[in-house]
Amino acid sequence: MEGQTIDIQELNSKIENESAFIEIIRSEMQKVIVGQKKLVDSLLIGLLADGHILLEGVPGLAKTLAINTLATIVDGKFNRIQFTPDLLPADLVGTMVYSQKQDKFSVKKGPIFSNFILADEINRSPAKVQSALLESMQERQVTIGEETFKLDKPFMVLATQNPIEQEGTYPLPEAQVDRFMLKTIITYPTVEEERLIIRQNIGQDYPKASKAVNLDTILKARELVREIHVSNKIENYILDLVFATREPEKFGLKELKDLISYGASPRASINLALAAKALAFIKHRGYVFPEDIKLIAYDVLRHRIGLTYEADAENITQDDIIYKILNAVKVP
């Protein structure tokens, strides 16, 4: 990449001008969502980098409200699908319906035909439903009967998992988990944030967000995100982080060898670069810093590292492993 002559200053001012709308989205989000900066940033990164997000957090942390609000702000269509053990693929993608009047079958499209999908408690549904969702996430298309339909752009899945209740859940297959660009952990609000949440919810007028940006602006911004500069040094840093999950002993992390059952896939490398570009765009910058990689490393890697029984026995999490890798790998 450094072989190309890139005018960083010119690119920087271009991105600075073109990314101004991010602040408009933020201020509209803040009218409704109190705190939860991590959640809002993840949504923006997913939106700009064309990625899906897996959210983990206890109920009541404004997950549905956040994505619904974002859909309102960018004038996109939103659908929430509650995943249950009896959900069928047809409930998700749609089905063929017979019309007696016309004496033929026609397609009845399901809720997946939206810009923003909240897949609530995704791990409550069996494999058939997961595979139907997987096709739409990966191929951005849906097959009903013998017909294939392209999904609208942007198309983003925000899936939630409840970390407390594991009864009656189906673990997501690794291949599907790998399709999520980020896995974001959401925590409780602070005392002051919760005070504000109470006041908003018991007041006479609940704040509402307004449409501030259109979908075309988002699609143009996605093209600009791709233009953001990633230097060779940053590329090498990304590769070192990902390879350290596969061959930790080469990075002086011999103690991790027996704790990792499998390392991050090539999608981790792609998504580290893409998410870092989106983060630079959000910060109105035309190039990626090592700090951007560090900030999104946990969300990109935590669901892509398999743990051994030994790690489970020692209560070692993926985040513990990422922490050690970030400390061991040399920062450019």
Give domain status of residue 72, yes or no.
yes
**Secondary element (H or E) of residue 54:** strand 52-56
- Length of the chain in residues, anyone? 332
What are phi and psi for residue 174, nearest 5 degrees? -55, -40
pTM of the predicted model as reported, rounded to 2 decimal places: 0.86
The token duo for 324 is 């050690």
Picking from 225, 241, 268, the residue at the C-terminal end of a domain is 225
Same domain, 30 and 173: yes
Q: 15 in a domain, yes or no?
A: no
CATH number for the domain including 215? 3.40.50.300
266 and 220 housed in the same domain: no
Using CA atoms, how far apart are residues 270 and 277, in angstroms rounded to an integer? 11
Rounded to an integer, what is the distance from CA 243 to the centroid of its chain?
Answer: 22
pLDDT tens-place values along the chain, 332 residues long: 443 456 788 888 888 888 888 998 888 888 888 887 888 889 999 999 999 999 887 777 777 888 888 898 988 899 999 888 888 888 888 887 877 777 777 778 888 999 999 988 888 887 788 888 888 888 888 888 778 889 888 899 998 886 665 665 667 777 778 889 999 988 888 888 788 888 877 876 777 888 888 888 899 999 999 999 899 999 999 999 999 999 999 988 899 999 999 999 999 999 999 999 999 999 998 889 999 999 999 999 999 999 999 998 999 999 999 999 999 999 88
